[in-house]
Structure 1
Amino acid sequence: MKDNMPTRLNVAKKKVKDIKGFYNHLLICLIINAVLFLFRDKITVVLLSKRVFGSPEFFENINWDVFGTPILWGIILLFHAANVFGKGFLFGRKWEERQIRKFMEKDHMEKVNK
């Protein structure tokens, strides 16, 4: 086996590192957005403004000084999560299998308790 070929251990370590990186990103996002929200009257952060979108009605109802950063960061986090957890990370095959097992166990327990 060549040294440059990824081993199962190296692949697993990289996956754990990627997942840890995502959760660190999520934690930083939550902390910074909480601070921005708490100090929204004292700090003005303009990532997006009505001028950027030409003032369509939908964007008139959003206070971009307060919600612009979390909205953009949320979109970025979704891409990061998709990259780390892969296809179907929300409602993929593994989720379906867990749900099926859960409902089958629940049904079994109900029959046993009758």
Structure 2
Amino acid sequence: METNYTQGERYYQAQKKVAEIRKFYQHLTVYLLCNPIVIVVNLMTSPGYLWFIWSLMGWGMAIVLHGLKAFEFSPFYNKEWEERKIREILEKEDNKPTWK
């Protein structure tokens, strides 16, 4: 399904895309700045148990998912999936009986 966008719509879509990528980079920056602090706190307070690994892994997975979404590399929920789902919902609505 090919959609023809006007110049203004294309510009708006590009702005949204840039904002999404910027938010990903901000998220990554916070991750890179905060985790060394978490590691230092862990090593100073309880060096026998390295709990910072859980923080790194959990937050790291969130970073990866955010990056996949920001750069439109989603193997599961991509544009084709969205289009299929929209068509499926519209077909269900069209086939729904009216009770008037």
TM range (shorter): 0.5 to 0.7
2:14 to 1, 12, 15: 12
Consecutive unaligned residues in structure 2, runs of 5 or more: 1-7, 75-100
Matched, 1:72 2:58: yes
User: Partners in 2 of 1:82 and 1:26 — Cα distance?
Assistant: 13
- What's the secondary structure of 1:40's corresponding residue? helix
Q: Residue by residue, what CA displacement relative to the aligned partner does 1:26-85 show, whole Å, maximum 9, x if unpaired?
A: 0001111111112223356xxxxxxxxxxxxxxxxxx55121101001111111011110
The aligned residue for residue 85 of structure 1 is 71
TM-score, normalised relative to structure 1: 0.51
User: Partners in 1 of 2:61 and 2:12 — Cα distance?
Assistant: 30
Greater relative CO, 1 or 2 (CA 8 Å, sep 6+): 2
User: Partners in 1 of 2:22 and 2:61 — Cα distance?
Assistant: 19
User: Partners in 1 of 2:53 and 2:37 — Cα distance?
Assistant: 12
Contact 2:42/2:51, CA 8 A, preserved across alignment: yes
- What's the secondary structure of 2:51's corresponding residue? helix
TM-score, normalised relative to structure 2: 0.57
- Sequence identity percentage: 25
Q: CA RMSD in A?
A: 2.0
How many corresponding residue pairs?
A: 65
**Which aligned segments of 4 or more residues in structure 1 are displaced greater than 3 angstroms?**
none
Contact 1:22/1:80, CA 8 A, preserved across alignment: yes
